[in-house]
Amino acid sequence: MSCEAKEDVMSLRSSSGRATVTHAVVVIFLEFFAWGLLTTPMLTVLHETFPQHTFLMNGLVHGVKGFLSFLSAPLIGALSDIWGRKSFLLMTVFFTCAPIPFMRISPWWYFAMISISGIFAVTFSVIFAYVADITEEHERSTAYGLVSATFAASLVTSPAIGAYLSAQYGDSLVVLVATVIAVADIAFVFFVVPESLPDKMRLTSWGFPISWEQADPFATLFLGVLMRTIGNKNTVLLGLGFQLFQLAWYGFGSEPCNIMMMMMMMKMMRKM
């Protein structure tokens, strides 16, 4: 083989192992597609487990998860700056998807694991850092938009597919399919996704100190922009306003009506 041919082969191998935005897109799509499939089965399990407080418990479970994610996301992002993205991407995807099979094994364990998983279920934090590693500043907004659009597309398509499968074949099949997709996502990260952070930018020692500024959840970019733009007080008022809107929106419907509408939709799906 000539020297030129050897160089071409080495170049091909190098490009095939290079981190790309496609890797990030696939990871996000599979993760949230799996969770989107469970939309209808999760409402059913919620109602069966907490018949008197269905939506209250749903709010508490996801509220605890969201709060824990809010606290842990900056720390995980800071740690991934030191030890690399892939290991933390694998961890966040695993813990995000871990509760899925427990929906059929034990509903109580399922909801408990969803709440606790919030500590590590911050895939977006690592994904955005992954994308930042492999893109130039002028193309970063487009890459972020692609990742966000993929997230939206997965959640738009998967609930309808999950509802159809649930109506035709039962919730157990939906949970099985979601579990298989989640395992495929974890395997994809482990075997296919390359590290995006260059070796020279990572620390080889585990003794590197993390400053509080890096791990402070209240120093996030969006809140920082808001506070600089409209002030601290108005930022708090804006957050309370959105919460008020959310609570008022729930007030327009009652639990029996929502459950009845869900059952009617499932019956219609069975007749199709």
Q: What is the pLDDT of residues 17-43, one digit of tens each?
A: 799 999 999 999 999 999 999 988 988
Q: Are residues 57 and 192 in the same domain?
A: yes
Q: State phi, psi for 77 to the nearest 5 degrees.
A: -60, -40
Q: Which position has the higher pLDDT, 68 or 250?
A: 68
pTM for the full predicted model: 0.73
Chain-wide mean pLDDT for the chain? 79
Does residue 209 belong to any structural domain of this protein?
A: no
Q: Are residues 114 and 181 in the same domain?
A: yes
Q: Which position has the higher pLDDT, 239 or 89?
A: 89
pLDDT at 214: 59
| Domain of residue 244, residue span | 230-271
**Model confidence over 200-251: pLDDT tens digits?**
555 544 445 555 555 666 556 566 666 777 877 787 777 777 767 766 665 5
Q: Are residues 33 and 167 in the same domain?
A: yes
Q: Are residues 45 and 124 in the same domain?
A: yes
pLDDT at 77: 83
Q: Tell me what percent of the residues of the chain surpass a pLDDT of 70.
A: 73
Q: Are residues 153 and 249 in the same domain?
A: no
- Average pLDDT, stretch 108-134? 90
Does residue 12 belong to any structural domain of this protein?
A: no
Does residue 260 belong to any structural domain of this protein?
A: yes
Q: Are residues 234 and 165 in the same domain?
A: no
Q: Are residues 178 and 237 in the same domain?
A: no
Cα 35 from Cα 179, distance rounded (Å): 9
Q: Which position has the higher pLDDT, 225 or 254?
A: 225
pLDDT at 7: 42
pLDDT band of residue 71 (cuts 50, 70, 90) is: confident
Q: Which position has the higher pLDDT, 256 or 155?
A: 155
Nearest to 165 by CA among 269, 43, 259, 263: 269
pLDDT at 176: 96
Burial class (CB in 10 A: 0-12, 13-18, 19+), 118: buried
Cα 25 from Cα 146, distance rounded (Å): 7
Q: Show which of 197, 222, 245 is a domain's final residue.
A: 197
Q: Are residues 193 and 235 in the same domain?
A: no
- 165-169, 182-186, 253-257: which has the minimum mean pLDDT? 253-257
pLDDT at 44: 87
Reduced to 3 states, what is the DSSP secondary structure of residue 99? Answer: coil
Note whether 71 and 137 are within 8 A (CB): no
Does residue 262 belong to any structural domain of this protein?
A: yes
Q: Show which of 197, 221, 243 is a domain's final residue.
A: 197
Does residue 147 belong to any structural domain of this protein?
A: yes
Q: Show which of 178, 197, 216 is a domain's final residue.
A: 197
Does residue 7 belong to any structural domain of this protein?
A: no
Cα 71 from Cα 116, distance rounded (Å): 12
**Model confidence over 125-179: pLDDT tens digits?**
899 999 999 999 899 889 998 998 999 899 889 999 999 999 999 999 999 999 9
Does residue 145 belong to any structural domain of this protein?
A: yes
- Average pLDDT, stretch 51-55? 83
- 73-82, 105-114, 206-215: which has the minimum mean pLDDT? 206-215
Q: Are residues 188 and 137 in the same domain?
A: yes
Q: What is the CATH number of the domain that holds 145?
A: 1.20.1250.20
Provide the number of structural domains found in the chain.
2
Q: Are residues 106 and 154 in the same domain?
A: yes
Nearest to 177 by CA among 27, 34, 40, 41: 34
Q: Tell me what percent of the residues of the chain surpass a pLDDT of 90.
A: 36
